[in-house]
Amino acid sequence: MMAQTDSSETPLLEVLNLRVEFPTRRGTLVAVDDISFDIKPGEVLGVVGESGAGKSLTGTAVINLLEPPGRIAGGEVRLKGQRIDNLPQEKLRHIRGRQIGMVFQDPLTSLNPLYTVGYQLEETIRTHMNMSEGQARKRGIELLSEVGISAPQDRIDQYPHQFSGGMRQRIVIALAVCANPSLIIADEPTTALDVSIQAQIIDLLKRLCHEQGTAVMLITHDMGVIAETADRVAVMYAGRLAEVGPVQNVIKQPYHPYTKGLMGAIPTVGQKLERLTQIDGAMPRLTEIPSGCAFHPRCPKAFDRCDTERPDPIAVEESKVACWLYDDARVLSGETEQ
């Protein structure tokens, strides 16, 4: 676990009231609704949620790679204090890859099948760093051996289809770290892989980021991966943040009823339970997000206020929880109980 960074330190990435919309013929869909978080240098922030929670969109919105008609409709994204959400594409291209690296879920679609791995590595290195062809190739071979590919001097001239899934994901990671970015956005990097390979990839990401002090925004639906890797966790539900806090708190002692349900729903090895906790119903569609707190129709602890007013994140110890149960008035009158 990484040492807790000083809270007065300026965050590497700040996201303030980010809102992503999709205009459609039947009205505007709000896919990411007013979320704020930050990532400190060298920190691993896990972003979890079920499908449709808007976690991948948050990742792509940070580097402004949203597919039209999706667009950032409000809020700010700041990298090292500088706004990047309103930069022209031309300038953003220098930030993507150079300062922010990306790792996507499917390693086959993020590599070009028509070029050798070496060509793709060299191209990326030379785009971002002032290097000659020979230097770039040397650096490429170094990177491949760093991500654990054996005989890199031979394999650098092979095509992506000649590598297995786990190997391809290693190459994608090599591409993401090749310009020493200060932030890597990893969107479900291990979802397509087997458990044994998953452990290898997580280990690799952790090691590289630790060595180079790179911050990671790790987007996944797998709580196990989060528990092992992240320093802090943001839990998303229906495009909103439900809870943000240190990983121990979120996993072991979640505050938000949704996080509690989510943790109870995960079976654990060696713990023989008759039934898993289940959250009835399903995540609402974007067209029919409930009023007030988006989770209230499924929430076992909902009361009338949840139906009408939308909760803002409320600080509870080190976490921030968007739930009326933790509103000051109720906490003071002793109404909440664990």
Which residues make up the interface to other proteins (CB under 8 A)?
50-51, 164, 166-167, 194-200, 202-203, 221-225, 227-228, 247-248, 251-252, 261-262, 264-270, 272-280, 282-283
Cβ neighbours of 2 (radius 10 Å): 14
Rounded least distance, CB 46 to other proteins, Å: 12
List C-alpha distances in Å: 78 to 83, 97, 144, 190, 212: 4, 16, 31, 27, 21
Q: How far apart are CA 91 and CA 334, in angstroms?
A: 52
Task: Give the DSSP letter string of 70-108.
Answer: -EEEEEEEEETTEE-TTS-HHHHHHHBTTTEEEE-S-TT
Q: How far apart are CA 166 and CA 296, in angstroms?
A: 40
Rounded least distance, CB 266 to other proteins, Å: 5
- The nearer residue to other proteins, 178 or 202, going by C-beta atoms, is 202
- The nearer residue to other proteins, 11 or 52, going by C-beta atoms, is 52
Give the list of residues 6+ apart from residue 178 with CB closer than 8 angstroms, or none: 101, 121, 124, 125, 128, 139, 140, 143
Q: Do the Cβ atoms of 167 and 156 come closer than 8 Å?
A: no
Query: Strands 215-220 and 183-187, how do they pair?
Result: parallel
Rounded least distance, CB 149 to other proteins, Å: 12
- The nearer residue to other proteins, 95 or 227, going by C-beta atoms, is 227
- The nearer residue to other proteins, 180 or 277, going by C-beta atoms, is 277
Q: Do the Cβ atoms of 223 and 266 come closer than 8 Å?
A: yes
Q: How far apart are CA 260 and CA 242, in angstroms?
A: 11
Rounded least distance, CB 314 to other proteins, Å: 23
Helix (H, G, I), strand (E, B) or coil at 220: strand
Rounded least distance, CB 202 to other proteins, Å: 8
- The nearer residue to other proteins, 185 or 202, going by C-beta atoms, is 202
Q: How far apart are CA 53 and CA 321, in angstroms?
A: 16
Give the list of residues 6+ apart from residue 53 with CB closer than 8 angstroms, or none: 236, 237, 238, 239, 283
Rounded least distance, CB 279 to other proteins, Å: 4
- The nearer residue to other proteins, 91 or 252, going by C-beta atoms, is 252
Rounded least distance, CB 261 to other proteins, Å: 6
- The nearer residue to other proteins, 49 or 181, going by C-beta atoms, is 49
Rounded least distance, CB 106 to other proteins, Å: 14
- The nearer residue to other proteins, 195 or 329, going by C-beta atoms, is 195
